[in-house]
Chains A and B, each alone.
Chain A
């Protein structure tokens, strides 16, 4: 299948972007930056998918990965608050072995890609990718899927709300008591009983 020149140019730019940002993930000094570099890599691949007319997948990639990377960045900040990566860090082990493994895998897979013969069966012209995906995914059972999805989400929210009493905003100790440092010991990282006379909690 032949693509117009402009598509090829776009593809080249996006491929470079995807690889460079994918590589930057592991050599930036802040984890928040790392997760957003990964997001850029995902977005570049998503746009390539749209160029390949997988329009649903490409766009789904944007929003799935945006939320996922956002959560990832927040988890980083949860474990180490580090605005703007103020305190940079280098956290690498077995460096040489990893580089060798990465290069080896690239060479093997790249060799397979270049040397093997794949059938040349481009998309039929009358194919509607989104509809075909929807039919394959859900078939005729769309209603069942959708109601099951909503029920599941409701259950999740309900469980979170119930298990944390008033969630993030109230007495939540019962729902999220961490285990003790030794079996049967006091919970880790929890305040001592009785300090911080807690009228502002109970009011």
Chain B
């Protein structure tokens, strides 16, 4: 039986998983990246399992259905801390991060062995824009190329050239909210001229991010500074890993994630920094573009602000940090390159503060204003700043735009901490956060 032999072999392959990154799903995906036998892929066409990690707000269920239907047969879906779509009544749901890799592998193997049927198509298979051509040649019958045979006008040069003196036709597309290169939840309407971004209109703000619970505790009572700083370093390392993976530096992305996973005050960043510099990450990949002026940088806050030369860090108001002789690190350029230099410098600083604070057993003192890794949390939580990219991205090439986007931390901070336990139940799902998402 050649076929069964083939499917037995296929069952042993590593599991190609396309992750839909919902609200609060990132932590599980970081763990999956380090799991042998699971491969997170960038395109739904390359996957055999659709993993919906975290809740998806109801108004984006249509987009989710479209992604679902893009997976080629046979495929299965898995819902991690997320309510399956109503049509997929029998879908597998997992809430335990430790059980996730095992469930993924079992699902893949059952799929290949034919023990589990492929997930059904949710949307009718008809073209979104049906053929509307007129005449023998289907050109629409309105002049030479004015017709709309697929319900869409031909790409025409409607906008002026903004960068290179080459006038190409522009093409308008809607991206997101599950595109793996964009922050989770970010949706945008983008006009491209060749690979040049001509206009970028953000339509959905990215999902609010959940910080580690230590930051929320620090708002209520003093917490050990060492713990706070390690959580901060971990957050930045995970963001760095995303950018490194995007830049094709898989091995350093993994190194960064591993460092984040086993982070302790004795961890050292020098090795990673040296390898990053040596392989030419700063010279070949990051750009001197994506420059934020003072106003925009202040709007984004956090790393982006300090990379633009603003010495704003709420930690300097905390007396305990004062005893550690804390002064904020800043860069001057404010571009993509500077933001990554700043991130690395802040990770190093956090590790150093953690070491000192652990020795001296220091606790944070100020609770009404803390500096989260995303930005200052004084009167209110750091809010969504995705509006800045509408001005920032036009004029950049696609690659530069994606690199810039990865270097910016734009999402609002969620009111729920990361890894909400089972008692909070469905909270990270469609309920509370979805409402918050709409408010944002």
Contact = CB atoms under 8 A, between A and B. Distances in A.
So, do A and B actually touch in the complex, CB under 8 Å?
Answer: yes
Interface stretch (B12-20, B389-397, B414-422): B389-397
Nearest to B170: A81
Nearest to B193: A81
17 contacts: A29-B138, A77-B169, A78-B169, A81-B169, A81-B170, A82-B155, A87-B140, A87-B148, A87-B149, A89-B137, A168-B166, A173-B165, A189-B161, A198-B395, A200-B394, A200-B396, A203-B335
Q: Is the interface of B mostly helix, strand, loop or mixed?
A: loop
A199 B291 contact: yes
Contact of A82 (B154, B164, B166, B394): B154
Given A168-B166, A191-B160, A200 B144 contact: no
A177 to B, nearest CB: 8
A172 B165 CA distance: 6
Interface of B: 133, 136-140, 144-145, 147-150, 152, 154-157, 160-171, 288-291, 293, 335, 392, 394-396
A170 B150 CA distance: 36
Given A81-B171, A189-B161, A190-B160, 16 more contacts: A77-B168, A78-B166, A80-B155, A81-B169, A82-B154, A82-B155, A88-B138, A168-B164, A175-B165, A176-B166, A192-B160, A196-B162, A196-B395, A200-B289, A200-B395, A203-B291
A80 B163 contact: no
A136 to B, nearest CB: 40
B131 to A, nearest CB: 10
Interface in A178-202: 189-192, 196, 198-201
A118 interface: no
Nearest to B140: A87
Nearest to B166: A168
Contacts, number: 90
Interface string A161-174: 00010011110110
Contacts of A196: 162, 394-395
A173 B150 CA distance: 36
Contacts of A172: 163-165
A3 interface: no
B157 A189 contact: yes
A90 interface: yes
Interface of A: 29, 77-82, 86-91, 164, 167-170, 172-173, 175-177, 189-192, 196, 198-201, 203
Nearest to B159: A191
Contacts of B169: 77-81
A170 B289 CA distance: 12
Nearest to B149: A87
Nearest to B164: A168
A159 B152 CA distance: 41
Contacts of A82: 154-155
Contact of A200 (B145, B148, B165, B392): B392
A29 B395 CA distance: 33
Contact of B395 (A90, A164, A175, A201): A201
A200 B394 CA distance: 9
A87 B157 contact: no
B144 A189 contact: no
Contacts of A198: 395
A201 B160 CA distance: 15
Most buried by B among A78, A87, A88, A169: A87
B155 A88 contact: no
A102 B152 CA distance: 37
Given A168-B166, A200-B289, A189 B154 contact: no
Contacts of A29: 137-138
A47 B392 CA distance: 52
B154 A87 contact: yes
B144 A89 contact: yes
A138 B160 CA distance: 48
Most buried by B among A169, A170, A199: A199
A171 to B, nearest CB: 9
A77 B394 CA distance: 21
Contacts of A81: 155, 168-171
A87 B139 contact: yes
Contacts of B161: 189-191
Closest 4 CB pairs of A and B: A90-B137, A176-B165, A172-B165, A81-B169
A176 B165 CA distance: 6
Contacts of B395: 196, 198, 200-201
A83 B336 CA distance: 32
Contacts of A164: 165
Contacts of B165: 164, 168, 172-173, 175-177
A81 B155 CA distance: 6
